[in-house]
Amino acid sequence: MKIPAPRGRVSATLIDLLQNRGGSGHANAYGSLNLLVDEALAATPDLLRDEDLQLALFCLYELHYSGLDGVEDAAEWDPELIRVRARLEAAFENLLRRTVPVPELPAPDSEAVAETLFRLAADDDGASVSRYVAGKASVEQLREFLILRSVYQLKEADPHSWAIPRLPVGRAKAALIEIQADEYGGGRVERMHSKLFGTTMEGLGLDSGYGYYIDQVPALTLASSNAMSLFGLNRRLRGAIAGHLAAFEMTSSIPNSFYARGFRRHGFTDDVTYYFDEHVEADAVHEQIAARDLAGGLAEAEPDLLADVIFGAATVLAIDALLGEEQLRAWQAGESALLAPLGNDGGTAEAALAATAAAGGVTA
């Protein structure tokens, strides 16, 4: 992924350090970075929406995925960078545990856990981006919708796959692998969900390269991705990543049917909407597997993880609700939901309009 533009002193110092590891002043740079992180954490009024700190954490997590352009692979396990990441993610986890509302814990058996998760998902009354997309979103807003989702969707399944070697052999592990096999296209590149999402982006004239729009997505979008990485990369949080995936699958099928409707409303054809159509069917099956066999099965196998399973599920719902509120607030006010509107993106908006016209859709 390309190195993002800094959004403050912490991300600027981190990015400079990543690009110049081993250079003069290298040791001093670590000390400065740690001091800046501590100062920024003490001063931030809202870590979830802190552009500088969320970007810094996102960059540190990316070292464990496809990496950052020009940064050597050895940076992934640089103990000083791991120390900085630990500072940031400890504050992030503490914030989530303080602020995410978690229901009363059920008994640690699969049916009770599934019932709690389905009730949690049903009680979610956050802003409905899916209904807005279905009935009101303009083509420009559809493009923004795709850009905001691309941070995760272009590497779909990867954060949750960290859990595979961390679950014991048994029902939960088998369920996770079944779900992930579908996400990765069952061995067929053209069926990988990340590939399908890229095709949808291209159908609206957008660039489908991972991280291409990283400088345009707000902190809260980065926080959503960072929560997945936090849960997935820490073995002690394997219960949280299992619960996160369960809630993710359980709240996907119906919204994707609305997304498909919104794109078809503007004349986009099946090649563009296939990503959403695929999820309507797949996630209707996945939600049962995820709730009962993955989340419920893990709670039965490791009862001590039950609280984290429910916490992980509640986290995805809480952050998604905040994202939806901010997105709809901007759109309903006639504003962009991005940090920078698409018109500033070197002709991308014009390409999208051309793609829309070619599909026979409306351009407003």
Residue reference for tokens 């595979």? 164
Per-residue confidence (pLDDT) for residue 125, from 0 to 100: 62
For residue 175, give the CATH number of its domain.
1.20.910.10
> Domain for residue 3, yes or no?
no
Query: CA 70 to CA 52: how far, in whole Å?
Result: 21
> Domain for residue 1, yes or no?
no
Residues 90 and 232 placed together within one structural domain of the fold: no
Residue burial 164-182, b: 16+ Cβ < 10 Å; e: rest? eebbeeebbbebbeebbeb
The first and second tokens of residue 232, run together, are 């997935």
Give the domain-ending residue among 76, 99, 122: 99
> Domain for residue 21, yes or no?
yes
Residues 170 and 298 placed together within one structural domain of the fold: yes
Q: Nearest CA to 206 among 216, 198, 215?
A: 198
Per-residue confidence (pLDDT) for residue 26, from 0 to 100: 65
Give the chain's length. Answer: 364
Give the domain-ending residue among 46, 80, 99: 99
Per-residue confidence (pLDDT) for residue 281, from 0 to 100: 78
> Domain for residue 105, yes or no?
no
DSSP 224-264: HHHHHHHHHH-GGGHHHHHHHHHHHHHTTHHHHHHHHHHHH
- Exposed / middle / buried, residue 352 (Cβ in 10 Å: 0-12, 13-18, 19+): buried
> Domain for residue 196, yes or no?
yes
- Chunk the chain into consecutive blocks of 10 residues (it has 364) and report each block's average pLDDT, rounded to whole numbers: 97 95 69 95 98 98 97 95 97 98 96 96 80 96 98 96 96 97 94 96 98 97 98 98 95 91 97 93 84 97 98 97 96 96 56 45 37
> Domain for residue 114, yes or no?
yes
How many distinct structural domains can be found in the chain?
A: 2
Per-residue confidence (pLDDT) for residue 104, from 0 to 100: 95
Residues 94 and 156 placed together within one structural domain of the fold: no
Query: CA 58 to CA 94: how far, in whole Å?
Result: 17
Per-residue confidence (pLDDT) for residue 361, from 0 to 100: 43
Domain that holds residue 205: 110-359
> Domain for residue 353, yes or no?
yes
Residues 293 and 205 placed together within one structural domain of the fold: yes
User: pTM for the full model?
Assistant: 0.92
Query: CA 14 to CA 12: how far, in whole Å?
Result: 5
Per-residue confidence (pLDDT) for residue 357, from 0 to 100: 46
